[in-house]
Structure 1
Amino acid sequence: MTQHFDAIVVGAGQAGPPLAGRLSAASQTVAVVERKLIGGTCVNTGCIPTKTLVASAQAAHMARRGADYGVDTGPVSVDMAKVKARKDVVMLDDRKGVEDWLDGMDSCTVFRGHARFEDPHTLRVGDDVLRADRIFLNVGGRAVVPDIPGLSNIDYLTNVSILELDTLPEHLVIVGGSYIALEFAQMYRRFGAEVTVVEKGPRLASREDDDVSDTVRSILQNEGIEVVLDAVDIRITKHRNGFELTPRAGGPAIAGSNLLLAVGRRPNTDDLGLERAGVHTDERGYITVDDQLKTSVDHIWALGDCNGKGAFTHTSYNDFEIVAGNLLDDDPRRVSDRITAYALYIDPPLGRCGLTLEQVRASGRPALVGKRPMTKVGRAVEKGETQGFMKVVVDAETKQILGAAILGVGGDEAIHSILDVMSAKATYTTLARTMHIHPTVCELIPTMLQEMSPLE
């Protein structure tokens, strides 16, 4: 028998539950379908567990540095079983919070199973057939497993399965040089493992400017992480006690005990029956959407990682806000209005917003650039954390900030003072003339803006 709802939300990640809550509060009947874990990637295998592990790794790192601050800590050891147990508690508490929220919503029914379209208004979930006027797809993504010769012969880890480790790898080899790879690299090095990062490109964090990439590499290498670049022909050979990875023909082999694949993610759109609904995808499988996140079908929307408009918790949640604003609040909101912003959670972190310097240079527009090393930031010196720098690029004609990077202690928080000024469409002089609190990292942002020079 077909069950009828006002709305169906497929996927209980970051956008799904709050949208269900708004629709339920508007007296609409809602079905939420989740095939795996309530909370999606962020809660279960992304931000929440990984940043919990990062916190444990930082505690170990600071304990080892105790003598630098006049604190005698003695030998430092890491109990990986306790580290994992702490991570599990934080993650499970968060998941339960979302589950309880959904269960407590009026006129909201949660279905467990895989949803597939039967027609543009109908989805089958196991034996249940659901029909609705509006359908919202929040199906997320999963790790890419590359075609590497010899990979099928060994047990390998992804960003999901590595979270189940409760022992320390002897030598963790990570294939990939972007955000997930680098966070796990530093984390496990601080836990005590030998770590090697293998990247097929010429530099780490390739979407960033060269100076950011180079500094990230230095930060990691300073902690004893090996970095292998230009790994253009990776091959793997199984051995009794692990494996050997050859990054390129004729190159030296890397002997490892555990292999982590962190080379990107792909959307979970290949088994939804989208063709039966008339929902279009691009060549990479992302659902194509307009500026208000509507798909090629007028009553179907796509939110979160599956639409290719962002791969972060905050972009997914903002997708919810855009859809809710347009449908429920008579508040026209657009994806194109938001400013790119994200962080890389190595330590010290990278906070980023807007355009990179190279993107501005490629545009040909006249610009000003400011840069300040963290060695000149009093707060960083006091904390004994002076690696990195802050950088900003400004349109020389409009005086509006085009983008910024803060790679250094507090960078993930300090970047928001720049992001907020950009969002307000205020000129950089507004921030340059603002008095900030001393001693903070943010207080040097106005100073940096007062010392800019033309972009060459």
Structure 2
Amino acid sequence: MVKLIDQEGRRVLQPDLCVIGAGSAGLSVASIAASLGASVVLIEKNRMGGDCLNVGCVPSKALIAAALHARNMREAGNFGIGGGEPTVDFAKVHAHVKDAIAAIAPMDSVERYRALGVSVVEGEARFTDSHTVVVEDQVIQARRFVIATGSRPAIPPIPGLEQVPYLTNETIFDLTEKPEHLVVIGGGAVGVEIAQAYRLLGLQVTILEAGERLLAQEDPEMAHVVDQALRSDGVAVRTGASIDRIEPAKAGGVGVVLSSGETIEGSHLLVATGRKPVVNGIGLEVADIASDASGILVDKGLRTSNRRVYAIGDCAGGAAAGLRFTHVANHHAGLVIRNALFRLPVRVGKAPIPRVTYTAPELASVGLTEAQARDQHGAIRILRWAFADNDRAHTERRTEGHVKAVVTSRGKILGCSIAGAHAGELIMPWVLAISRGMKVSQLAGLIYPYPTFSEVTKSAAVEFLKPSAQNPWVRRLVSLVRRMG
């Protein structure tokens, strides 16, 4: 890396790659590029690891793990083991969440990345022209830039919201005392995950969703499984809940006033109404980088309107808009490495992207939903298999849910959704099959260990072959072979 001093006495770095943002996307790009021998500058103004490590994926899954242990204690009697209602120490739950973050943090730390050969600059980055970024008294003039500034909670313009204390995913994991009644605005993945987790930890929880159902992006049939699970756990689910305003409650806490006039009072309010890209304050305009509400506009190769600059992860809009997952950010990182360092053509959007809602039961999906498949392909076949027909599910008393695969008449797999135990793990054979163009009959032909939950995939796939058993030509062939002895 070339290092100079400019006329103002500032240090000038001239690396191969400058990455703005040390979340999942930025860390992936920086580590891969450095391992390949490229000189890399990585800029971060807050905490290394970004939202995923500090306020997103990691703490939420740690909280869910605690909640599931509480559920298991309640259900232990079903297995002949003494259990009952658990005693939940919220300070210790909080400590468990922080311990999980602390255990992973060294992998994302400044020290580790400097040891990898990355020049980590702590501070706020801002473009000053199309090929220069300034961080306090340092100037970076890189061959290529990668913007990976992530996203933040999208706060809806509800009257009165700013006049009451409210939580987002960035603050809820700091709670050390048990809320009496958590009101959640938003029935997407974040809202339902946190709502169920806190309910299993013994709280009163209400979800307010403006739409007609929870998890609107998912197949309605599969989202219904999660909806019923939440209701069974005791979460008060209110769909079609139009909010008029929010006001302080007389007894403390907050009151959410619905358009019907009804008021839902809670001790704490969580706003989980989606996320918005972080694009302001980094000088996009002076660098000739276009953006809109979806984020920084990129083409299929993740390049912005400034050909020197890429945008990846949650902040990327345009051709990359709408898929705000950590694994998508990591996928973007790999594409940028191929294009920026090796000049290989890349195309975002080709790979099937799985998504998981970490409720109990989990809901995992990849590819098209039934409605999308019918719209795009016309005649299709739906293959289902219930967890209640899986032997391992019965041994663990986890029989709720089912597999739903969408295929063409010739067996091409268009999509799959799984609502059930370990769905996030079970979706992967379907991801592989779609990405490699496998037929559903090939999934049916694999050998699956018994007894495992993975057999639900085989069972669903075998459903595609059952009509063949009724084919008169097949039956005649079997009869002929039988007569031949």
- Give TM class, smaller chain: over 0.9
Q: Give, in whole Å, the separation in 2 of the partners of 1:161 and 1:27.
A: 39
1:104 aligned onto 2:115: yes
Q: Give the deviation of 1:275 after TM superposition.
A: 0.7
Relative to structure 1, is the Cα distance of residues 330 and 11 closer, same or farther in structure 2, using a 3 angstrom cutoff?
A: same
Superposed CA deviations along residues 27-57 of structure 1, whole A, max 9, x for unmatched, are 3332111011101111111111110111011
The 3-state SS of whatever aligns with 2:302 is coil
**Counterpart residue identity of residue 241, structure 1:** G
Q: Give the deviation of 1:330 after TM superposition.
A: 5.9
Q: Give the deviation of 1:278 after TM superposition.
A: 0.7
Alignment root-mean-square deviation, CA: 1.6
Instruction: State whether residues 386 and 401 of structure 2, in contact with CA within 8 Å, keep that contact through their aligned partners in structure 1.
Output: yes
Among 426, 430, 442, which residue is 2:438 paired with? 426
1:194 aligned onto 2:204: yes
Residue pairs, 1:120-199, within 5 angstroms: 120-199=130-209
Residue pairs, 1:152-301, within 5 angstroms: 152-239=162-249, 240-250=251-261, 252-282=262-292, 284-301=293-310
Q: Give, in whole Å, the separation in 2 of the partners of 1:373 and 1:161.
A: 38
Structure 1 residue aligned with 2:394: 381
Structure 1 residue aligned with 2:18: 8
Structure 2 residue aligned with 1:314: 327
The 3-state SS of whatever aligns with 2:286 is helix
Structure 2 residue aligned with 1:356: 369
The 3-state SS of whatever aligns with 1:402 is strand
Among 33, 38, 42, which residue is 1:32 paired with? 42
Q: Give the deviation of 1:285 after TM superposition.
A: 4.4
**Counterpart residue identity of residue 337, structure 2:** A
Q: Give, in whole Å, the separation in 2 of the partners of 1:377 and 1:246.
A: 45
Q: Which runs of 5+ in 2 are unaligned?
A: 1-9, 468-485
**Counterpart residue identity of residue 286, structure 1:** G
Structure 1 residue aligned with 2:100: 90
Q: Which moved more, 1:200-209 or 1:365-374?
A: 365-374
Q: Which runs of 5+ in 1 are unaligned?
A: none
Structure 1 residue aligned with 2:359: 346
Instruction: State whether residues 75 and 84 of structure 2, in contact with CA within 8 Å, keep that contact through their aligned partners in structure 1.
Output: no
Q: Give, in whole Å, the separation in 2 of the partners of 1:244 and 1:410.
A: 37
Instruction: State whether residues 236 and 243 of structure 1, in contact with CA within 8 Å, keep that contact through their aligned partners in structure 2.
Output: yes
Instruction: State whether residues 144 and 264 of structure 1, in contact with CA within 8 Å, keep that contact through their aligned partners in structure 2.
Output: yes
Q: Give the deviation of 1:130 after TM superposition.
A: 2.0
Superposed CA deviations along residues 7-37 of structure 1, whole A, max 9, x for unmatched, are 2100001121232223323433321110111
Relative to structure 1, is the Cα distance of residues 267 and 382 closer, same or farther in structure 2, using a 3 angstrom cutoff?
A: same
The 3-state SS of whatever aligns with 1:4 is strand
Residues paired across the two proteins, number: 450
Instruction: State whether residues 116 and 271 of structure 1, in contact with CA within 8 Å, keep that contact through their aligned partners in structure 2.
Output: yes
Q: Give, in whole Å, the separation in 1 of the partners of 2:303 and 2:392.
A: 46
Relative to structure 1, is the Cα distance of residues 404 and 84 closer, same or farther in structure 2, using a 3 angstrom cutoff?
A: same
Q: TM-score, normalised by structure 2?
A: 0.90
Structure 1 residue aligned with 2:474: none
Structure 1 residue aligned with 2:472: none
Residue pairs, 1:41-80, within 5 angstroms: 41-80=51-90
Superposed CA deviations along residues 179-225 of structure 1, whole A, max 9, x for unmatched, are 00000000100111100000010000001122112221100000000
Q: Give the deviation of 1:418 after TM superposition.
A: 1.1
Q: Which moved more, 1:407-416 or 1:306-315?
A: 306-315
Superposed CA deviations along residues 314-357 of structure 1, whole A, max 9, x for unmatched, are 00001111111233356543212211211000011111110111
Q: Give the deviation of 1:234 after TM superposition.
A: 3.5
Q: Give, in whole Å, the separation in 2 of the partners of 1:328 and 1:276.
A: 25
1:302 aligned onto 2:315: no
Superposed CA deviations along residues 102-154 of structure 1, whole A, max 9, x for unmatched, are 12122x22111211111011112223222212111010000011111121221
The 3-state SS of whatever aligns with 1:435 is coil
The 3-state SS of whatever aligns with 2:127 is strand
Pair member with larger Rg: 2
Structure 1 residue aligned with 2:483: none
The 3-state SS of whatever aligns with 1:123 is strand
Segments of 4+ moved more than 6 angstroms:
none
Instruction: State whether residues 290 and 304 of structure 2, in contact with CA within 8 Å, keep that contact through their aligned partners in structure 1.
Output: yes
Q: Which moved more, 1:1-10 or 1:187-196?
A: 1-10
Q: TM-score, normalised by structure 1?
A: 0.95
1:411 aligned onto 2:420: no
Structure 2 residue aligned with 1:326: 339
1:368 aligned onto 2:374: no
Q: Which moved more, 1:333-342 or 1:52-61?
A: 333-342
The 3-state SS of whatever aligns with 1:31 is strand
Instruction: State whether residues 247 and 254 of structure 2, in contact with CA within 8 Å, keep that contact through their aligned partners in structure 1.
Output: yes
**Counterpart residue identity of residue 371, structure 1:** R
The 3-state SS of whatever aligns with 1:275 is coil
Q: Give, in whole Å, the separation in 2 of the partners of 1:247 and 1:377.
A: 43
Q: Give, in whole Å, the separation in 2 of the partners of 1:22 and 1:193.
A: 43
Relative to structure 1, is the Cα distance of residues 373 and 248 closer, same or farther in structure 2, using a 3 angstrom cutoff?
A: farther
Q: Give, in whole Å, the separation in 2 of the partners of 1:280 and 1:2.
A: 29
Q: Give the deviation of 1:404 after TM superposition.
A: 0.3
**Counterpart residue identity of residue 258, structure 2:** P
Instruction: State whether residues 77 and 84 of structure 2, in contact with CA within 8 Å, keep that contact through their aligned partners in structure 1.
Output: no
